[in-house]
Amino acid sequence: MKVMVLGATGLTGNLVLENLLARSEVGSVVVPVRRWLAPDEPKLEQHVIDFDNMDAHAEIFDVDALVCCIGTTISKAGSRAAFRKVDYDYALTAARLARNTGARALILMSAVGASTTSKVFYSRVKGELEDAVRALNFPYLSIYHPSLLLGNRQEQRPAESLGMALMPVANHGLIGPLRKYRAIEASTVAAAMVNELVMLGENAAPGPVVKIREYTDILRIAKMATV
């Protein structure tokens, strides 16, 4: 299986990349980047591209599946427009290019609460992206809805750092319908994504099949043993 990871330098994307490289079922992993990753791996295909002109690199999107973990924050991006360019434009363009070259599966990192009707800009953009990728008619589309992701980030996100300190305690109070808002380890999300992809293999259903993965489902898939 040939898999592309978009957002491989981020918290979850990097963990997905590591997991994919370790799996014998995966023949090669394609990673579009702004700069070279290190160290290099035999199965890793790195391509330094201009993310604002992805169509010029359409040939690298010829993969069996795309795992899209790209994302930023408004604070880091500098504006709502810049945030939208990364979280919506880049993600949708990659999905479109992968689908046009024959990719049969897309695993998309979204967020709990994503909705086109949300009053929260972040959640609304995520919801708009979900609707847009649904329209691409991937034979298999799995959309992940994690809440706060726990893990060691390279960049500092003060608000998330505070949340990570508080959420392990708050998680115990989030039960029933609120369970989906529990914070979750990024490593768990990455493990679930890779397990789902490996179990799917190259045999995506004639589809389109759309799955929404929330907290409980993500935990279940992450614990699945694959051969």
- pLDDT tens, 192-202? 999 999 998 76
Which pLDDT score is estimated for 171? 59
Q: For residues 22-37, give the mean pLDDT.
A: 94
pLDDT for the residue numbered 155: 58
pLDDT confidence band for 43 (50 / 70 / 90): very high
Query: What is the number of other CB atoms lying within 10 angstroms of the CB of residue 196?
Result: 24
Q: How confident is the model at residue 168 (pLDDT cuts 50, 70, 90)?
A: low
Which pLDDT value is given to residue 165? 55
Q: Is 185 exposed, middle or buried (0-12, 13-18, 19+ CB in 10 A)?
A: middle
pLDDT, mean of residues 82-96: 98
Neighbouring residues of 85: CB distance < 8 A, sequence distance ≥ 6 = 77
Which of 86, 81, 114 shows the shortest CA–CA distance to 6?
86
- Tell me what pLDDT residue 71 has: 95
| Confidence bin at 173 (pLDDT 50/70/90) | low
DSSP assignment letter at 140: E
Strands 65-68 and 28-33: unpaired
Stretch 44-72: mean pLDDT, rounded?
96
Q: 3-state SS of the chain?
A: CEEEEECCCCHHHHHHHHHHHHCCCCCEEEEEECCCCCCCCCCEEEEECCHHHHHHHHHHHCCCEEEECCCCCHHHHCCHHHHHHHHHHHHHHHHHHHHHCCCCEEEEECCCCCCCCCCCHHHHHHHHHHHHHHCCCCCEEEEECCCCEECCCCCCCHHHHHHHHHHHHHHHHCCHHHHHHCCEEHHHHHHHHHHHHHHHCCCCCCCCEEEEECHHHHHHHHHCCCC
Q: Which residue has the tokens 């994690």?
A: 146
- Give the closest residue to 3 by CA, choosing from 219, 137, 221, 196: 196
pLDDT score for 178: 78
Hey, which residues are catalytic here?
122, 126
Residue partners of 216: CB distance under 8 A and separation at least 6:
179, 180
Lowest average pLDDT, out of 84-98, 136-150, 212-226, goes to 212-226
- 39 cis-preceded (ω within 30 degrees of 0): yes
Higher pLDDT, 164 or 131: 131
CATH of domain 2-223: 3.40.50.720
| Res 57 pLDDT > 90 | yes
Average pLDDT, integer, range 40-57 = 94
> Alpha-carbon distance 224 to 132, whole Å?
30
Confidence of residue 172 (pLDDT cuts 50, 70, 90): low
pLDDT band at 227 (very low <50, low <70, confident <90, very high): very low
Q: What's the predicted TM-score (pTM) here? A: 0.89
